[in-house]
Amino acid sequence: MAAIVDDSRLNYGKMGYGCVHYRRRCKIRAPCCNEIFHCRHCHNESTKDHHELCRQEVETVICLVCDTEQPVSQVCLNCGVNMGEYFCKLCKFFDDDIEKGLYHCDECGICRVGDKENYFHCKKCGTCYSVYLRNKHSCVENSMKHHCPICYEYLFDSLRYTRVLKCGHTMHSECLDDMINHEQYTCPICYKSVIDLSRLWRKYDEEIEATLMPEDYRQRKVWILCNDCNDTTEAFFHVIGHKCVHCYSYNTRMTSPPILPQ
């Protein structure tokens, strides 16, 4: 029989227990291997065969205050503490850190961070985005349901901040920053520019104007494909680069070798 406790026990130990991923007052028993872990991330990081825990399948938890194993619920049936200030019965998820603004998105099927009023669910992209991106982003079907192209961590339920690029593809914010710091300015997936490069293109203009090609190459043309606007056009061959006449980007690639005019 469950002990009778008063509400004063609910906050006992709040933010005093947990792991590097979450502050919570319980552990979970993984139904896949019957082992006990602080959270699903601890499970996924420690299993030798790399199998992953399905959060919705968790059936029992262990209170860290009184060590009682019990069916999933927010309040410990034995000592009466909240095992998580935030609790989602659908995700079997606990977290004492409510300042994250946790909420459950029915369409994502998981709990999200950042306060529900600050986010909307894009049905085509298949995930929640900041309200600032409503009608302001390029939709890519299931854009978050793939791995970061830099670190290869699955993005949909990653704990790290994710950035939506102008092209609509997604990657971790810190991975994008590292990429830019290494002077890589194009999306690893579609090769479109990820930042405004107009200043760089002006420098290319100056370099090309100052660098005269050998006589045999001055009138040779190539066909180019622009990675930014997807247009195909002819341009005079130059070793520094080829400018798209439609969007003025140098983020282009040759599709034919240099040829003499007919």
Q: What angle do CA 195, 179, 157 make, to 5 degrees?
A: 95
Query: How far is residue 104's CA from residue 215's CA, in Å, rounded to a whole number?
Result: 66
User: Does residue 82 contact residue 69 with C-beta atoms inside 8 Å?
Assistant: no
pLDDT by residue, tens only, the chain of 262 residues: 444 445 778 999 999 999 999 999 999 999 999 999 999 999 998 877 778 899 999 999 999 999 999 999 999 999 999 999 999 999 999 999 999 999 999 999 999 999 999 999 999 999 999 999 999 999 999 999 999 999 999 999 898 999 999 999 999 999 999 999 999 999 999 999 999 999 999 999 999 999 999 988 888 999 999 999 999 999 999 999 999 999 999 999 999 887 765 5
CATH number attached to the domain at 198-254 = 2.20.28.10
| Domains of the chain by residue range | 7-99, 103-181, 198-254
* Phi, psi (deg, nearest 5) at residue 194: -100, -15
Length of the chain: 262
Strands (DSSP E) found in the chain:
26-29, 36-37, 60-63, 69-71, 86-88, 93-95, 103-105, 110-112, 119-122, 127-130, 162-164, 170-172, 221-226, 232-236, 252-254
